[in-house]
């Protein structure tokens, strides 16, 4: 199925959800005020937060599809994170209102009264939500959309919350035991929980996330498969939304290849990265000469010292510059390490300087950004 048709179908399914929820909100708000049941009001607020999420999600999808321009050459993909954050904040607010409403109704000692119309509307509400949930699940599977499938699961969960309002209504009508306030608080807590989770999920990509370990290893392995590449390190990817990703990587190559060869290699990697992973890639170069006897000897010692310190996750970019009598290498120190990277680096350099007093050493500290 073409991407644009798929997107249209996803949007259309979401619209059905929004309309369904609006109907539910109207029905429940009406019955909630007539009966004075805070659990039904909370349930209406829950549907309201669903309708808001779907609406803002559609708006976010549309806005983020806007083409890049001179002022925003990275495009508008990150708008989706912002709209998701706004929705999350609204859901948190909705949850707090539902809890507040229910607690005050408990203090007021309200005794809701129901008639057969109220029971009918509550039952109808459950049936509508159940149908929506099943519809979303089916469409989610058909269109292979995680968002729709999640909405479906969410809706089925909401059926349970709505069922609790029916149970409390029946209990209060037939046994004169008024549990609405408690059910309302419970529903409010569920709304609050989903708001906080949504907030975490939307803020995380704005802050910048670690690249998925499996994906990072796959990219590095693919690049290392090239016969001229001896190693791939320091993979960084910045995401400007799902469709705009920019990154960089360091590759190690023999120190005697020409600029012409490096250029061809870089182009090949860039094309591959864009076509397979959709990433605009910058390639940095590490020269390697560890086949020479002295270079090999120093590297063996270096790796030996590195292995003595468990906090060092990786050592790469090693190079001996014979003319300048200079050795450089990169170290990645565990972020959780109690010792500072500088401290660890100077310990290793100290040992190497003792072994090779005529050489100068420099350790470059890399961040533990990707696997």
Binding site for Zn ion (CB under 5 A): 233-234, 317, 330, 366
Task: Please identify, using beta-carbon distances, which residue of 170 and 303 lies nearer to Zn ion.
Answer: 303
Nearer Cβ to Zn ion, position 234 or 290?
234
User: Is residue 89 helix, strand or coil?
Assistant: helix
Q: Collapsing DSSP states into helix, strand and coil, what is residue 328? A: strand
Q: Which residue is nearest to Zn ion (CB)?
A: 330
Overall size of the chain counted in residues: 371
Three-class SS state of 60: helix
Comparison of 188 and 317: residue with beta carbon closer to Zn ion: 317
Beta strands in the chain (DSSP E): 231-239, 245-254, 279-288, 312-321, 326-333, 360-366
In the complex with Zn ion, the residue whose CB is nearer, 17 or 317, is 317
Q: Which CB atom, from 15 or from 335, has the smaller least distance to Zn ion?
A: 335
Q: 191 or 295, CB closer to Zn ion?
A: 295
The rounded distance, in Å, linking the Cα atoms of 314 and 250 is: 14
Shortest Cβ 236–Zn ion spacing (Å):
10
**What CA–CA distance (Å, rounded) separates 270 from 267?**
5
C-alpha span between 322 and 319 (Å, rounded): 9
Q: How far is the CB of 21 from Zn ion (least distance, A)?
A: 51
Whole-number Å distance between alpha carbons of 240 and 8: 23
Closest CB 182 distance from Zn ion, rounded Å: 57
At closest approach, how far in Å is the CB of 233 from Zn ion? 5
- Going by the DSSP 8-state scheme, the letter that residue 292 receives in this structure is S
Could you tell me the smallest distance in angstroms from the CB atom of residue 354 to Zn ion?
25
**Shortest spacing between CB 284 and Zn ion, in angstroms:** 8
**Residue closer to Zn ion, measured from CB, 180 or 252:** 252
Strand partners of residue 321: 326
Closer to Zn ion by CB, 140 or 317: give it. 317
Rounded to whole angstroms, the Cα distance separating 371 from 210 reads: 9
The secondary structure of residue 225, as a DSSP letter, is: T
Pairing of strands 312-321, 279-288: unpaired
Do 48 and 26 meet the contact criterion of CB atoms below 8 Å apart?
Answer: no
As measured in angstroms, the least distance from the Cβ of 291 to Zn ion is: 20
Q: 103, exposed or middle or buried, with CB in 10 Å at 0-12, 13-18, 19+?
A: middle
Residue 326 Cβ, how far from Zn ion at the closest point, in Å?
Answer: 17
Selection from 204, 206, 188 nearest residue 91 by Cα:
188
């Amino acid at each position: 199925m073409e991407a644009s048709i798929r997107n249209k179908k996803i949007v259309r399914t979401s619209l059905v959800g929004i309309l369904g929820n609006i109907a539910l909100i109207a029905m429940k708000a009406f019955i909630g005020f007539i009966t004075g049941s805070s659990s039904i009001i909370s349930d209406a607020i829950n549907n309201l937060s669903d309708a808001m999420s779907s609406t803002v999600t559609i708006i976010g999808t549309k806005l983020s599809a806007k083409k890049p321009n001179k002022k925003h050459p990275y495009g508008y993909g990150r708008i989706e994170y912002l709209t998701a954050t706004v929705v999350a904040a609204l859901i948190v607010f909705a949850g707090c209102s539902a809890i507040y409403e229910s607690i005050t109704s408990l203090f007021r000692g309200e005794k809701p009264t129901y008639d057969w119309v109220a029971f009918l509307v509550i039952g109808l509400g459950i049936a509508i939500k159940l149908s929506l949930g099943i519809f979303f699940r089916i469409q989610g599977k058909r269109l292979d959309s995680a968002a729709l499938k999640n909405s479906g699961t969410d809706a089925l969960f909401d059926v349970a919350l709505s069922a609790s309002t029916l149970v409390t209504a029946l209990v209060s009508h037939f046994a004169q035991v008024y549990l609405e306030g408690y059910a309302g608080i419970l529903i409010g807590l569920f709304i609050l929980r989903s708001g906080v989770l949504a907030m975490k999920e939307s803020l995380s990509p704005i802050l910048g996330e670690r690249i998925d370990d499996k994906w990072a290893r796959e990219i590095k392995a693919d690049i290392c498969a090239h016969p001229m590449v001896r190693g791939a390190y320091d993979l960084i990817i910045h995401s400007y939304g799902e469709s705009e990703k920019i990154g960089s990587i360091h590759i190690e190559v023999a120190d005697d290849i020409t600029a012409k060869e490096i250029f061809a290699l870089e182009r090949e990697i860039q094309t591959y990265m864009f076509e397979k992973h959709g990433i605009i890639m910058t390639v940095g170069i590490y020269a390697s000469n560890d086949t020479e006897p002295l270079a090999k000897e120093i590297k063996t010692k270096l790796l030996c010292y590195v292995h003595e310190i468990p906090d060092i996750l990786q050592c790469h970019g090693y190079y001996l510059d014979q003319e300048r009598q200079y050795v450089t290498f990169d170290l990645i120190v565990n972020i959780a390490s109690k010792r500072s990277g500088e401290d660890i680096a100077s310990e290793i350099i100290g040992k190497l300087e003792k072994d090779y007093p005529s050489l100068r050493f420099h350790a470059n500290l890399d961040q533990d950004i990707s696997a």
